[in-house]
Structure 1
Amino acid sequence: MSQAIGKTALAYARVWHHVDVKDRILGRVATGIATTLMGKHKPIYDPASDCGDYVVVTNARHVHLTGRKEKQKLYRHHSGHPGGLKEIPLERMRRTRPEETIRRAVSGMLPKNRLRDGRLKRLLIFPDEEHPYAQNIVRRYDLEVETPAQ
């Protein structure tokens, strides 16, 4: 008799993770979040199946960046019309929509395929400490906080 769980519903059960990004570096946190959303931390990981977990991120307003990214980084998108290029500096994006900086960083680290949108829907980002998913959280990743280099 085999003891392996295999590709059953129990193996694909989605766990809720909580990440507190206060005083943590954006790129390092985003790689861990992307890995969890893809399901690479599970033994049943398959690149062609969506077996990742939910991730709840809090304190998005207080994430740190290294170097001069705060002043120099630009987020660009195009409307498709002539002259439709829009550029938003990171500094303004963090003031108006702080959760969008984390979403874009994680989105850039996920594979560019059909599973990407579904994985990003499981990423729930909140600018402050409060969130409505406290009873769902199974694992917390805010216990080992790395301090940024000043």
Structure 2
Amino acid sequence: MNKTYIPTQKSKNTDRWYLIDAENQTLGRLSTNIAIILRGKNEITYTPYLENNAYIIIKNAELIQVTGQKKLQKTYKRHSGRPGGLKSETFSELQKRIPIRIIEKSVKGMLPKGSLGRKLFTKLKVYSGNTHPHTAQQPQQIYLV
């Protein structure tokens, strides 16, 4: 009979920081890799109901790419909660205004819904420029193909 794997306290204490450059990366492929790392599916000790201690820093979010005609056709909607409060804008408009939100929304949709997904989403740090304030954590650079 299979035994349930429960990680020890020693293995849960080590925080790992990863740095990913989003320049000229495709949005969907980048987002799936981020979601896999946040969930811990790249680790040998993956447990679906436990939080992973991986933090991800994304830089150059304004340089993310999409394929096809999505720059003009993909729409992002938000609602204020008031009657007639629906606002929508295209990918290119949102990329000019708030480029961080594109990656955040994409990754959040790939994480589990519920308290675990909300906890994992707080470990994602997205920055539109080339600099970030997490140099003290000595993040490991990840190159995605």
- Scaled by the length of structure 1, what TM-score is found? 0.85
Cα distance in 2 for partners of 1:134, 1:121 equals 18
**1:47 aligned to 2:43?**
no
Give a deviation string over 1:60-96, Cα, whole Å, max 9, x none.
Answer: 1111110111101111122333222221221111001
Q: Structure 1 residue 29: deviation in Å? A: 0.6
Q: Structure 1 residue 52: deviation in Å? A: 4.2
CA RMSD of superposed structures (Å): 1.7
Structure 1 unmatched ranges of 5 or more: 1-5
* SS of the residue 1:105 aligns to: helix
Q: Structure 1 residue 98: deviation in Å? A: 0.7
Instruction: Give the aligned residue type for 1:64.
Output: Q
Partner of 2:123: 122
**1:87 aligned to 2:64?**
no
**1:135 aligned to 2:143?**
no
Q: Greater CA deviation, 19-28 or 36-45? A: 36-45
Give a deviation string over 1:123-147, Cα, whole Å, max 9, x none.
Answer: 00111111111231342113x5x4x
Q: Greater CA deviation, 85-94 or 133-142? A: 133-142
* SS of the residue 1:30 aligns to: helix
Whether the 8 Å CA contact 1:59–1:127 is kept in 2: the answer is yes
Instruction: Give the aligned residue type for 1:11.
Output: S
Cα distance in 2 for partners of 1:111, 1:139 equals 25
Q: State the 4+ residue runs in structure 1 displaced beyond 3 angstroms.
A: none
Partner of 1:7: 7
Structure 2 unmatched ranges of 5 or more: 1-5
User: Residues 42 and 115 (structure 1 numbering): CA distance in 2 closer, same or farther, change over 3 Å?
Assistant: same
* SS of the residue 1:115 aligns to: helix
Whether the 8 Å CA contact 1:11–1:44 is kept in 2: the answer is no
Cα distance in 1 for partners of 2:57, 2:31 equals 12
Partner of 1:3: none
Identity of aligned residues (%): 31
Q: Structure 1 residue 38: deviation in Å? A: 0.9
* SS of the residue 1:10 aligns to: helix
* SS of the residue 1:18 aligns to: strand
